[in-house]
Amino acid sequence: MIKRRKILGFAGLLATPLVVRANDSEYPRMPINLVTPLASGDAADTAARLMGNELGKLLGVAVTVSNRPGAGGSLGTQSVIRSPKDGYTLLYAQNSPLTIRRVIDPATAAYDPLKDLTPLALATRSPSILVARKDAPFRNFKELVEQARKQPNAIRIGNAGPGSAGDISVRLVSAATGTEMTSVNYKGAAPAVTDLIGGHIDAIILALGAVSAHMRSGTLHGLAISSKFPEFPDVPTLRQLGYKHDIQGVWFGFFMPADIPGNVLDKVLPALEETVRNPAIAAQLQPMGIVQEWAPANQLAEEISREYQAVKDLLGSEKIKS
């Protein structure tokens, strides 16, 4: 009877699911979920998948990408904040939900990324670029400004959505030049590009990857860019043109929920750095307008704080209707 009880007890242990704990010295022991608050299929989503695949190889487990778009990226961000603090959920997020959205719509972005998340590393940047059709009546930024001064609010500049880097950049351009230009919000980059090519708006400010193919074909030409990019060296930044501020660029960083155990970070951080610095990945990202830029957690935190304050200073108490 005693022997039967021992066997049954051992069988019960085998039937009990294995609980993986964050402080397990063998971390990671199961797949990691990489959440990105973007729709699938765009350049940033491709970047997430390339880096997730490489990160999985280095950690020895699968890294699967989950797309959680909505509310300017805040829905996907909040899903990671609420996830278990076990090291099996990563966030690859752009600056919009981490800085801009918190200013313009604090009701849907009621979190502090420096307290509710664990910043891991800055990973990539994609310059924002102001482009117009090749047959536009203004050939460069100076001529755009001259036309805007003659016709207040007549210049209509599209962007990827309320609170996007492009939307904020239209406001930056108007403030820097002392003009009044109208920001036209779209539900993503693709419809904004379509309307520009179709002549329904005058220009757009989007991440470079959304328009680079049209620039190569000559359909669109650049007027200003947030930071210099090797493929389009003739497109100036606003600082090069004599202004104090550049238009808002797009950057992405990696995060985990707050209070992640140190042993998890000891495994993840070196693998992340090797992934982001991988030249093979860089070669695939550059044609999409994305540049790898590794920076450690403290620099990522400084970037978030600095940009958040800059957006607050620009917009004041103004709220953008979504």
Residue 316: per-residue pLDDT: 67
Dihedral (C-alpha) 228, 229, 235, 237: value to the nearest 10 degrees? -20
pLDDT digits (tens, 9 = 90+) for 28-60: 999 999 999 987 877 888 999 999 999 999 999
> Could you tell me what percent of the chain has a pLDDT over 70?
90
Residue 1: per-residue pLDDT: 45
Q: What is the phi-psi region of residue 304: left when phi exceeds 0, alpha when psi lies from -120 to 50, beta otherwise?
A: alpha
Measured in residues, the chain has a length of 322
Residue 24: per-residue pLDDT: 52
Model confidence at 87: pLDDT above 60: yes
Integer Cα distance of 247 and 225 in angstroms: 7
Nearest by Cα to 228 from 291, 319, 167: 291
Return mean pLDDT, the chain.
88
- pLDDT band at 26; cut points 50, 70, 90: confident
Integer Cα distance of 193 and 212 in angstroms: 11
pTM for this entry: 0.81
Residue 14: per-residue pLDDT: 39
Residue 67: per-residue pLDDT: 92
106 touches 113 (CB < 8 A): no
Q: Look at residue 310 and give its three-state secondary structure.
A: helix
180 touches 174 (CB < 8 A): yes
Least confident stretch, 61-65, 247-251, 254-258: 247-251
Q: Look at residue 273 and give its three-state secondary structure.
A: helix
pLDDT digits (tens, 9 = 90+) for 108-127: 899 999 999 999 999 999 99
Q: What is the mean pLDDT of residues 186-212?
A: 92
Model confidence at 12: pLDDT above 50: no
Residue 72: per-residue pLDDT: 79
Higher pLDDT among residues 171 and 254, named by residue: 254
Give the dihedral sign, CA 42/67/164/268: negative
Integer Cα distance of 80 and 111 in angstroms: 12
Residue 2: per-residue pLDDT: 41
Instruction: Classify strands 291-296 and 117-126 as parallel, antiparallel or unpaired.
Output: antiparallel
pLDDT digits (tens, 9 = 90+) for 133-189: 999 999 999 999 999 999 999 999 999 888 788 999 998 899 899 999 999 988 888
Least confident stretch, 2-11, 150-159, 234-243, 268-277: 2-11
